[in-house]
Structure 1
Amino acid sequence: MNVVEILDRLIAFPSVVGTPNHEIAGWIREYAEQHGATVTVLPGPEGDRVNLFATLGPADVPGYILSGHMDVVPPNDPTNSRDLFRMQRVGTRLYGRGASDMKGYLAAMLACLDSLRGKTLKQPLHLAFSYDEEAGCRGAPHMISRLPELCARPLGAIIGEPSGLQAICAHKGKAAVRLTVRGRTGHSSRPDQGLNAIHALTEVLGTAVQTARSLTAGPLDPVFEPPYSTLQVGTVRGGQSVNIIPDLCTADLEARAIAGVVPLEILEPIRQHLTRLPEQGYEVDWTVLSNYPSMSLPQESDLARLMVELTGLPPLAAVSYGTEAGLFQAAGIDAIICGPGDIAHTHKPDEFIETAELEACQQMLERLTARLVA
C-alpha cells in the first residue's frame, strides 16, 4: 500500500476521541507486524482504548520515536458537506476527518516501513500511537510511563502534529478544569431560603478574570504569541428558569502556560476561592479535565539540528497550542513537533491534506530511517 492508500484506510475508521479504538489499533498493529515490527498493545485504564508501541531494530539501543495520535475530533458540525470518514480526492487535496490532524502523519509513519524491508537496523525505529489526545493528551502518559521496559532511552521523539513539515521547538502547556457548585433551590421570591449556585460561582469566576488580567504582566517569553500565559473561562452552565433559584452551576476553565510555568498553578487562586464556598453552605467540586506540560527544546540541540537536515528548513521557535511533545520531554526524552498538513485546516468540516505534502513527509521519515540502517 502506498501512503495515500494507507491514509484512505485510516480515515475510514471513525476513531472519535473518547470512544473505543480497537478497530483502528488492530489494523495498525497488523500492518506494522507484517512489516517486521514488534508491537506492544498498551491498554488504558478506560478498558476500551489502547496505545500501541512498535519497534523495528534493537530495542536495547537508543533510537528515535515517531509519535502520533489515532483519535479525531467528533464530526458534529452541521455545515459538514462530506462523509468525513471516507477519504475524497479533489485535485491535489485529500479530504477526510483526521487528514491533517493527524492520520496523515500516521500514514507516513507506516508507509516508511516499506523502505526497511530486508534491512538490518543498527539503531531502532519506534512508532508510538496514542489515544484521546484530543481530550487533553489522556492516553500518551500511560504509554510513556511504560517506555523504560520497552526500549532504551530514545534519542528523540518526533511528534507529527500538522506543521507544514517545519520543525517546532516549543509549545505552551495546558490545564483545563471543571468547577461545580451545588446550592439549594427554591422560588425566586424567597432568595433568603435558597442558595443561588450561579451567584456563588460568579464570584469565583471574578477571581478567574482578575487572574487572567494579571498574567499579561508576565513572566514573558517572546517566542510565544501572546508572550505570556493565559487563562479563560470557556463555558458556564446553570439555571432552569428566571423564577427558580438555581441549585447547580458549572464552568470550564483553561490555562495555557509558557515554558517554565506550571499550568495548574495558574488556576490555584480560583481553586482556593472555590474551596471557601462550603463555609456558606455550598457543595463544590474541582475536576481536572486535562493537564500536560509545555515543551521547550533548544534550537542548538541534536534533535533540532537533525530536523533541519531532514527538512531543509530552519525550525520555528514556538507555537501557542499544545501537543504530546511536552509529555515526552517531561519523561526525559527530547521531543520536537514536525508533521504534514496545516493546523489551520484542522477541526473543520472540510479538513484536508495536500498529496504532495503527505508524500514529502514519507520521504522525510525515510531519510531518518536511512540513518538507522546498519
Structure 2
Amino acid sequence: MHEVEILEKLVSFRSVVGTPNGDIVEWVTSYLRGLGAKVHVLPGPEGDRSNLFATIGPKDRSGYILSGHLDVVSAIEPDWIGDPFRLRSEGNRLHGRGATDMKGFLAAALAAASKVDANSLVKPIHFAFSYDEEATCHGVPHLIERLPELCQPPLGAIIGEPSGMQPILAHKGKAAARITVRGKSGHSSRPDQGLNAIHGATAILVQAVKSSETLSHGPFDATFEPPYSSLQVGTLKGGTALNIIPDICEFQLEARAIAGCDPRSLLSDIRQAADALQAQGYDVEWTETGAYPPLSLLADSALAALVTALSGKAPLAAVSYGTEAGLFQQAGIDSIICGPGNISRAHKPNEYILIEELSACVAMIDALSRHCCG
C-alpha cells in the first residue's frame, strides 16, 4: 500500500488518547503479519488498549526500532473543515487528526515495511507502536519493559515525532501531577464551621509559584528554550457558589526539566507543602499523572551519525516538546527523534502533513533498510 493510502486508513480510526484502541491495533497487526512480520500485541493494564511490537528480519540479532504512538488528541475544535477522522486532500496537504502527530510517521514506516526483503536483512527492523503517548507517555513503559523477551538489545531507536525530518538530539523531561484538596462545606457566613479548600490549596499554589521563580535562576542549558527547567500550574477549579464554603479544590501542575535533572525532583517542595496542609485538617490527594525523563544523545554517537546520513539533514541540538525517546534512552537504548511534519501543526484544527514529507520519511526508512542489509 502507498503511504497516503495507509495514512487515510490510520486517520479513520478514532484512536483518541485514553480510549480503547483495539480497532487500529488489529488493522496494523493484520497488515504487518501480511508482510511476514512477527507481531506481538501487548495489552496494557487498562485492559482496553494495547501496545504493538513487530519485527522484520532476524530476531536473534540487534537492530533498530522505529517508534511511534497510535493515539491522537481529541478533535473537538469547532474550526475543523469536514470530519477530522477522514483524510482530506488539499493540493499537497493531507488534513486529518493525527496526520502530523503522528500517524504520518506510522504510515511512512508501514509503507516502507512493504518493500523490505526480510531475507536480506542482517539486522532486524522493529516497529514499536504505543498507546496513550498524549497522556504523558503512559503506554510505552509497558512496552519497553517487555523488550528483553521480544528482541536482542537494540542498536538504537528512531522516534518519528514531527521534526521536519531533521534529527533531534535532546528534549526536556516532564513530570505532572493532580492535587486535590478537600475541606468542609458550609454557609459562607459561618467560616468557623467549615474548612475552605480553596484557601487551603493557596498554600500549595504559593509554593508552586516560588518553585517556578527559583528554577528560572538556573541551572542553565543553552541548547533549550528557555535554557532552564520550568514549572507551571495549568488548571485550577473549585467551589460551587459564592455563599458556600468550598469543600474541594483541584489543580494540575507540570515541571519540565533540562538534561541532567530529574523532573519529579522539581515537584518535591510542592509535595512537602501538600503534606504540611494535611496537619491543618485538610485531606490532600497527590496523583502523579505522568512522567518521562529528558533525552540527551551525544552528537558524535553512532546513531546520530547514522540518522544524519539517512535523513540528509544536520542534527538539531534540542527541542522544547517531549517524546518517548527519553524513556527508551533511560532503558539503555540510544534514541533520536526524526519524523515527517512540523510540530507547530499538531494539536490544532485542520492539522496536516505534506505529501512530500511523507515521501521523504519513506525514503529515510528505505535507506535504513539498505543499511540493515549490509
Q: TM-score, normalised by structure 2?
A: 0.99
Counterpart in 1 of 2:225?
225
Q: d(CA) in 2 for partners of 1:48 and 1:223?
A: 39
Matched to 1:14, the amino acid is R
Q: Does 1:320 align with 2:320?
A: yes
Aligned to 2:29: 29
Which residue number corresponds to residue 123 of structure 1?
A: 123
Which runs of 5 or more residues in structure 2 are unaligned? none
Determine the structure 2 residue equivalent to 1:180: 180
User: 1:141-156 to 2 correspondence within 5 Å?
Assistant: 141-156=141-156
Indicate the residue corresponding to 1:263 in structure 2: 263
Alpha-carbon shift at residue 72 of structure 1 (Å) = 0.3
Higher alpha-carbon deviation: 116-125 or 214-223: 116-125
Describe the SS at the equivalent of 2:187. coil
Partners of 2:69 and 2:129 within 8 A in 1: yes
1:290, CA displacement in angstroms? 0.6
- Check the 8 A contact 2:56/2:118 in 1, yes or no: no
Percent identity of equivalent pairs: 59
The letter for the 2-side match of 1:351 is E
Aligned to 2:158: 158
Structure 1: where are the runs of 5+ without partners?
A: none
**Secondary structure of 1:116 counterpart:** coil
Counterpart-to-counterpart distance in 2, 1:352 and 1:46: 31
- Cα offset for 1:82? 2.2
- Cα deviation digits, residues 124-146 of structure 1 (max 9, x gap): 00001000000110110000000
Indicate conservation of the 8 Å contact 1:183/1:194, yes or no. Answer: yes
State the secondary structure of the residue aligned to 2:245. Answer: coil
- The corresponding residue for 2:287 is 287
Alignment of 1:17-166 (within 5 A): 17-117=17-117, 119-166=119-166
* Aligned-partner Cα distance in 2 for 1:8–1:81: 16
Q: Does 2:209 match 1:209?
A: yes
Aligned-partner residue type, residue 238 of structure 1: G
In structure 2, C-alpha distance between the alignment counterparts of 1:187 and 1:51, rounded to whole Å: 50
2:108 and 2:362 in contact (8 A); partners too: yes
Contact 2:85-2:97 within 8 A present in 1 as well: yes
Looking at structure 1, the residues matched to 62 and 325 of structure 2 have their Cα atoms a distance apart, in angstroms, of 18
Aligned to 1:361: 361
Alignment partners' CA distance in 2, 1:69 and 1:242? 44
Q: Which residue of 2 aligns with 1:307?
A: 307
Q: Which amino acid aligns with 2:237?
A: R
Deviation (angstroms), 1:305: 0.4
Q: Which amino acid aligns with 1:124?
A: P
Tell me how far apart the structure 1 counterparts of residues 141 and 266 of structure 2 sit (CA, whole Å).
Answer: 22
- More divergent stretch after superposition (178-187 vs 73-82): 73-82
| C-alpha distance in structure 1 between counterparts of 2:139 and 2:203, whole Å | 34
How far residue 371 of structure 1 moved from its aligned partner, in angstroms, is 1.2
Q: Pairwise mapping of residues 183-198 of structure 1 onto structure 2 (< 5 A)? A: 183-198=183-198
Alpha-carbon contact 2:57-2:118 (below 8 Å) kept: no
User: What is the alpha-carbon distance in structure 1 between the residues aligned to residue 118 and residue 283 of structure 2?
Assistant: 63
The Cα offsets for residues 268-298 of structure 1, whole Å up to 9 and x where unpaired, read as 1001011111211110100000111000001
The answer to whether the Cα contact below 8 Å between 2:183 and 2:247 also exists between their aligned partners in 1 is yes
Cα pair 2:18 2:132 within 8 Å, conserved: yes
Letter in 2 for 1:130: S
Alignment TM-score, normalising by the size of structure 1: 0.99
CA RMSD, Structure 1 to Structure 2 (Å)? 0.8
User: Cα distance, 1:119 vs. partner?
Assistant: 3.8
- Equivalent residue number for residue 247 of structure 2: 247
Compute the displacement of 1:59 (Å).
1.3
AA paired with 1:314? Answer: A
AA in 1 matched with 2:22 = H
Q: 1:118 Cα deviation (Å)?
A: 6.2
Query: Offset of 1:342 from its aligned partner?
Result: 0.4
Runs of 4 or more, structure 1, over 4 Å off, are none
Is the CA contact 1:119–1:373 (under 8 Å) kept in the aligned structure 2? Answer: no
Deviations 1:51-71 (A, max 9, x none): 000001111211000000000
8 A contact 1:35–1:117 mirrored in 2 = no
What whole-Å deviation, never above 9, does each CA across 1:132-191 have from its counterpart, x for those lacking one?
Answer: 000110110000000011111000000000000000000000011001100001111111
Name the SS of the counterpart of 1:145 in structure 2.
helix
Structure 1 position 120, deviation (Å)? 2.4
Question: Whole-Å Cα distance in 2 between the matches of residues 90 and 204 of structure 1?
Answer: 49
Contact 1:132–1:138 (8 Å) recurs in 2: yes
Tell me if the contact between 1:44 and 1:139 (Cα under 8 Å) persists in the aligned partners: yes
Counterpart AA for 2:229: S
Distance 1:204 1:148 in 2: 42
Q: Please state how far the C-alpha of 1:81 moved relative to its aligned partner.
A: 2.2
What is the letter of the counterpart of residue 49 of structure 1? Answer: R
Which is worse superposed, 52-61 or 163-172?
A: 52-61
